[in-house]
Structure 1
Amino acid sequence: MLKALLYKDYGYRLITHNTNPDFAALADALNHLAQAHQQMPPTEKTSIPSTSTPITFTLNADNIITDTHSDALFPSSEKALIGLPFTSLLCLSSQQALTAILHTLSLSTAHPNPYHSDLDFQITPVLYYHIRCYMYYTPTQVVITSAPPTHSTPTQATPATTLKAKIQEITDYIDAHLDGSLPRTQAIAHRFGWNEKKLVQLFKIIHRQSPSAYYQQQRMKKARQLLLHTDMPLEEIATTIGYHSTNSFYKAFKKYYHHPPSRLRHPYCKNKP
């Protein structure tokens, strides 16, 4: 890593967990230095160019590496990377992020601009390389490269955080409409300008459940809180979370929690979290 810093290559990071305190302190200092230089505006950087060159990976439909130009990161094993899953080169957090992005890309063939995401490549057990990558998707292959797109500025690429932000908008919309029937996912997708299948698939990746299951979960949680912390009648609670009859609410609550709502009105249940 010291050699990389000397040559103005600020992408490397040292892993500090499960190490002795002295090494961890040194690693934190070097990581902080590298990050500070990497985030420095171009006008403030030294004019000495970096020795690092763009890295590129071509993946097939199963995300297996079919071609690569990555000697800047893996100089002694570039050929050995052919045939490996691309995610095997990444740290765990980047594996999860990339899996979500590629899954989303696979649901649509129209991508006028590349997606971009910061990825951490696992170089050794104690060293990884942090770099922004751009992803070009087609139904038969994915090209992942650190070279910024030439036909548009990097800010025009769609970041992974944008996907999460859009799902959060939909989540907030559901949370704000627990007092009525949830619109069909097709109507929600249309409202937010999304493909219905893409919405459901990405919502499941982030929330581990469908929009309708999340909606029902939030309704039941709200009902439970009202039962425990207010004296609101069951009829009013039912209306508050969108049920038109107390009987329907009673059955739904019992099915979800395996006990009737009246049980939470017992004195020993009051003031429970």
Structure 2
Amino acid sequence: MKLLRMGAPGAEIPAVLGEDGRTYALSELTADIDGDFLALDGPDRVREALAAGTLPLIDPDGLRIGAPVARPGKVVCIGLNYRDHAEETGAAVPERPVVFMKDPSTVVGPYDQVLIPRGSAKTDWEVELAVVIGREARYLDDPEAAKDCIAGYAISNDVSEREFQLEFSGQWDLGKSCETFNPLGPWLVTPDEAGDPRALGLRLAVNSEIRQSGNTKNMIFDAAYVVWYLSQYMVLRPGDVINTGTPAGVALGLPGTPYLRDGDTVELSIDGLGAQRQIFRNA
């Protein structure tokens, strides 16, 4: 099942994409797709309503697609989680997940404009598999238990400013939390439809030139392990988003490859999860 939110920023309508390819409104079931909706078995209720044929149709033409989850409580990120990415950046392959946080307000729609920060010389791209939490994860017993806490998956662009992140302060959050730095979506795809999260192809192109082409099978720590691991150190709550890392092909790891500039277009896709497209503009 593919859940989405459509409309102007701050006024999105919750919706679902049916198997017939048509879009159905969820306003009779919920005010939004958020933590409360996920915690109260919202996806199951949507599934039942779809089967009953009780949901009204929406004409999606001309409607903006927003992030598929409203107001994440937190965005937790895993760094260096693909061996090829660690190698291209000259970093050691981590023995434990590398964890950092992003400001949740960085989350925007998959086709929204992304702003290059003032003073930026090294704004970079990162296609990532995002995990959306559907029920509280706290001191989980094992990665298998983590699977029951996952509401679904989405595409994330973990946009990064490398000077801010690595050179100016050494504090990763400063290079990750600039406004608009986390396009998410277009859909929240439930686990039954997303396919095996350990075998999804990821791709990213800049100005139609392929930069990243990887597969989640090359993750060091898979999605379920990451959720289990994080639950030992923090409480994950419904609506939280986890960015699980990026494969090789970022500008940081490709000497001579230009970083993003005003007017550049970035296109991303992950098997079964749809596609994104952003135009980057100077703030």
TM (norm. structure 1) is: 0.24
Structure (1 or 2) with the greater strand fraction: 2
With a CA cutoff of 8 Å and minimum separation of 6, indicate the structure with the bigger relative contact order: 2
TM (norm. structure 2) is: 0.24
